[in-house]
Chain A
Amino acid sequence: MYSYTDFDKSFLASRNAQFRTQVERRIAGHLTEDEFKPLRLMNGVYLQLHAYMLRVAIPYGTLNSSQMKMLAHLADKYDKGYGHFTTRQNIQYNWPELRDIPDMLDDLGTVEMHATQTSGNTIRNVTADHFAGASADEIADPRPVAELIRQWSTDHPEFQFLPRKFKVAVTGSESDRAVTRAHDIGLRMVERDGVAGFEVIVGGGLGRTPMLGKVIADFLPREDLLPYLEAIVSVYNLLGRRDNKYKARIKITVHENGLEKIRDLVNERFVEIKARFSGIDQEVFKTIQAQFAPPSFKEGDTAIFEKSRASDPVFRAWSDTNLHAHRADGYDIVTVSIKKHGATPGDVTADQMRVLADIAARFGHDELRISHEQNVILPHVHKSDLPEVHCILKANGLGTANIGLISDIIACPGMDYCALATARSIPIAQQIATRFDELKLEHEVGDLKIKISGCINACGHHHVAHIGILGLDRAGVESYQITLGGDHTETAAIGERAGPGFSSDDIIPAIERLIAAYLALRKAQDETFIETYRRLGLTPFKAALYPESAEQSHAA
């Protein structure tokens, strides 16, 4: 993992000290709210429905055990004993008081963490594949690249007042677990003739105008990355619209100007910028890369893993769903489900955070990851340790065996917390998970992604869900609209709207009808929901969702 240099430490300390005086001036009445708001947002502080909210960056989702323990400490000392992991690999605290936030930031600084640029019209926390550095299908570890981008973008003087927020994601694997096609810039690490480079995708995004990113450069040599990114963002900074907030993201800039024009402008700008980088970025990159060397993997007998699978059906079920192939022999990647049936997706108590930190320290080479799917990853666990790890997880409410299944739902905070929301998300997720657990159907249903957003801004990624749910306010009543057929992976697709919305009472039965239709329609047990949907299209699913109108059209 990356360790802060003296420069990083003093930069963060002075930034935190600056914010502390800004808070003091606001409280003393020397700053108005209009003056203070952009300053607090730059430091991750929102004012939500019931309280302030602090969004802490977890750069590229990577944490060590002492950092996780610090997150637990913040939850206990300044919040209500828990934190919420988000779809951008961050953590949010829902109940801090304004006076305490500078202390929270100082506490975070002691473990080399911050909340800088987790909001505002800047380059936000860079996200990456949550299996980075561990997955068997990886070409290269994307985290050194993400760290380089974090350093370059933090307090970048040209990019503090962009037309709108700007999100970058990096993957080093063929399987896209970082949703690169739905980011302002998506980077896919690729190789051509043995040379490492990037496929650069630009102009993706969800929100009210969902768009998949377009390839602006199919092969960018690795050493050109920062000047090329700087060229893209500076072209956007000048060309992006500032007259209308809803048309200000780079996806609209690309859409309105056309990819060719943007590419030409970026290439022109790149030529101007490139020489200025003088290779210093590559020297920095080398020192970063050295700090992401793989841990020294142990060798050992894995017989106990097989033995436990044979003797313990609960362990077997968990290891069937929550493990992923590791690049090292004898190792697995563990996804710890933060989606216990009926619980709030992404919420972890301080005690659970400490348990996860201890497991990482004892069994996981001191590494943890947060996924955009709001789960926690132990990226390096030897198979011989898995039975004990599972036992500890299970004892602490973290043993749910549901990764990739119907109850592994992404849900934004929605109107239970968020000032922008138009409907609640969390209770819908809780009810779907509880219902399918009661029906004992989720393993039968198999691979399925449900994602729920409580407003059109789509923090819950509903557009790229197999079943997306969007909560809206229809004349003062919560209404839930379903989209079908979205895909967040390397075969990314935006889902199709199924029809009119459902009330909060009707949405769960509607999902049940949809699942019943899938089970009846699938060709074989191993045909997944999305495969069935792609084969048959919207029509039969629409008929299941709206049986009355289907009957009417049949009669007519």
Chain B
Amino acid sequence: MPRSFTPKVITANALLKGDVVYLTNADTWTRNLSDAVLLTDEADADLRLLQATAQTDVVVGAYLVDMQSGPSGPEPLYFREAFRRKGPSNYAHGKQEQF
């Protein structure tokens, strides 16, 4: 039996603005986690990460992060990604201004 694989999303920071972006199914980048592609196959995730990392003129520091499937798309499993999705807790700045 293959070992279990926690579903993942590819995330990075945008080169120009520096804000958090996620890879979509079309290999483009979205600022909204709900529109990100949830990768459930390890080999696919590794390949997509390589391709995402190669987009150096668009993003910086792409990595895979554990997520779970929720009613409106992928949801963070850990608090660090929850803050990246939302923005800081001391001001309503960052993504919480937009979404």
State the CA gap A344–B93 with chains docked (Å): 14
Residues in A with CB closer than 8 Å to B44 are: none
Asked if A49 CB lies within 8 Å of chain B CBs, one says yes
CB–CB A415/B17 < 8 A: no
- Indicate with 1 or 0, residue by residue over B34-62, a CB within 8 angstroms of chain A CB atoms: 00000000000000000000001100110
Q: In the assembled complex, how far is the CB of residue A342 from the closest CB belonging to chain B, in whole angstroms?
A: 10
Asked if B72 CB lies within 8 Å of chain A CBs, one says no
A416-436 at interface with B (beta carbon < 8 Å): 416-417, 424, 426-427, 430
CB–CB A32/B56 < 8 A: yes
- Indicate with 1 or 0, residue by residue over B1-27, a CB within 8 angstroms of chain A CB atoms: 000000000000101111110000000
17 more contacts with CB within 8 A, not counting A33-B61, A426-B89, are: A27-B16, A32-B56, A49-B83, A50-B87, A50-B95, A80-B91, A95-B93, A97-B16, A98-B17, A344-B90, A347-B90, A415-B79, A415-B80, A417-B88, A424-B89, A427-B89, A473-B79
Asked if A476 CB lies within 8 Å of chain B CBs, one says yes
CB nearest neighbor in A for B16: A98
State the CA gap A344–B89 with chains docked (Å): 10
CB–CB B88/A416 < 8 A: yes
Residues in B with CB closer than 8 Å to A94 are: 88, 93
Point out the residue from A26, A50, A473 that lies within 8 Å of B20, measured CB to CB: A50
Given the known interface contacts A415-B80, A473-B80, A476-B78, the answer about A51 and B88 at a Cβ–Cβ threshold of 8 Å is no
A508-551 at interface with B (beta carbon < 8 Å): none
Asked if A362 CB lies within 8 Å of chain B CBs, one says no
CB–CB A80/B89 < 8 A: no
CB–CB B78/A50 < 8 A: no
- Indicate with 1 or 0, residue by residue over B66-78, a CB within 8 angstroms of chain A CB atoms: 0000000000011
CB–CB A33/B17 < 8 A: no
CB–CB B19/A51 < 8 A: yes
Point out the residue from A51, A344, A426, A476 that lies within 8 Å of B79, measured CB to CB: A476
State the CA gap A98–B56 with chains docked (Å): 14
- Indicate with 1 or 0, residue by residue over A259-292, a CB within 8 angstroms of chain B CB atoms: 0000000000000000000000000000000000
Smallest CB-CB A-B distances: 4 pairs: A416-B88, A52-B18, A51-B18, A29-B57
CB–CB A476/B83 < 8 A: no
Q: In the assembled complex, how far is the CB of residue A428 from the closest CB belonging to chain B, in whole angstroms?
A: 11
Q: In the assembled complex, how far is the CB of residue A251 from the closest CB belonging to chain B, in whole angstroms?
A: 29
State the CA gap A97–B61 with chains docked (Å): 16
CB nearest neighbor in B for A95: B93
CB–CB B56/A80 < 8 A: no
B interface, over-half SS: loop
CB–CB A476/B90 < 8 A: no
Sample 6 A-B pairs with CB under 8 A, ordered by A number: A29-B56, A29-B57, A50-B20, A51-B19, A98-B15, A426-B89
CB–CB B90/A50 < 8 A: no
Point out the residue from B13, B18, B83 that lies within 8 Å of A415, measured CB to CB: B83
Residues in B with CB closer than 8 Å to A51 are: 13, 17-19, 94
CB–CB B19/A50 < 8 A: yes
Point out the residue from B13, B16, B17, B83 that lies within 8 Å of A416, measured CB to CB: B83
Q: In the assembled complex, how far is the CB of residue A163 from the closest CB belonging to chain B, in whole angstroms?
A: 24
CB–CB B77/A49 < 8 A: no
Which of A29, A50, A98, A478 has the most chain B CB atoms closer than 10 A to its own CB? A50
State the CA gap A135–B83 with chains docked (Å): 43
CB–CB A98/B90 < 8 A: no
CB–CB B18/A97 < 8 A: yes
Point out the residue from B18, B88, B91, B93 that lies within 8 Å of A47, measured CB to CB: B18
Asked if A317 CB lies within 8 Å of chain B CBs, one says no
Q: In the assembled complex, how far is the CB of residue A195 from the closest CB belonging to chain B, in whole angstroms?
A: 50
CB–CB A27/B89 < 8 A: no
CB–CB A49/B56 < 8 A: no
Which of A49, A96, A478 has the most chain B CB atoms closer than 10 A to its own CB? A49
Q: In the assembled complex, how far is the CB of residue A234 from the closest CB belonging to chain B, in whole angstroms?
A: 34
Residues in B with CB closer than 8 Å to A50 are: 18-20, 84, 87-88, 93-95
A94-127 at interface with B (beta carbon < 8 Å): 94-99
Asked if A293 CB lies within 8 Å of chain B CBs, one says no
Given the known interface contacts A415-B80, A473-B80, A476-B77, the answer about A80 and B93 at a Cβ–Cβ threshold of 8 Å is yes
State the CA gap A80–B88 with chains docked (Å): 13
Asked if A304 CB lies within 8 Å of chain B CBs, one says no
Q: In the assembled complex, how far is the CB of residue B86 from the closest CB belonging to chain A, in whole angstroms?
A: 9
Residues in B with CB closer than 8 Å to A80 are: 91, 93
CB–CB B90/A427 < 8 A: yes
Residues in B with CB closer than 8 Å to A347 are: 90
Asked if A477 CB lies within 8 Å of chain B CBs, one says yes
CB–CB A426/B16 < 8 A: no
State the CA gap A27–B56 with chains docked (Å): 9
Residues in A with CB closer than 8 Å to B79 are: 415, 473, 476-478
Q: In the assembled complex, how far is the CB of residue B65 from the closest CB belonging to chain A, in whole angstroms?
A: 12
Residues in B with CB closer than 8 Å to A473 are: 78-80
Residues in B with CB closer than 8 Å to A430 are: 90
Residues in B with CB closer than 8 Å to A477 are: 79
- Indicate with 1 or 0, residue by residue over A42-56, a CB within 8 angstroms of chain B CB atoms: 000001111110000
A314-347 at interface with B (beta carbon < 8 Å): 344, 347
State the CA gap A518–B82 with chains docked (Å): 37
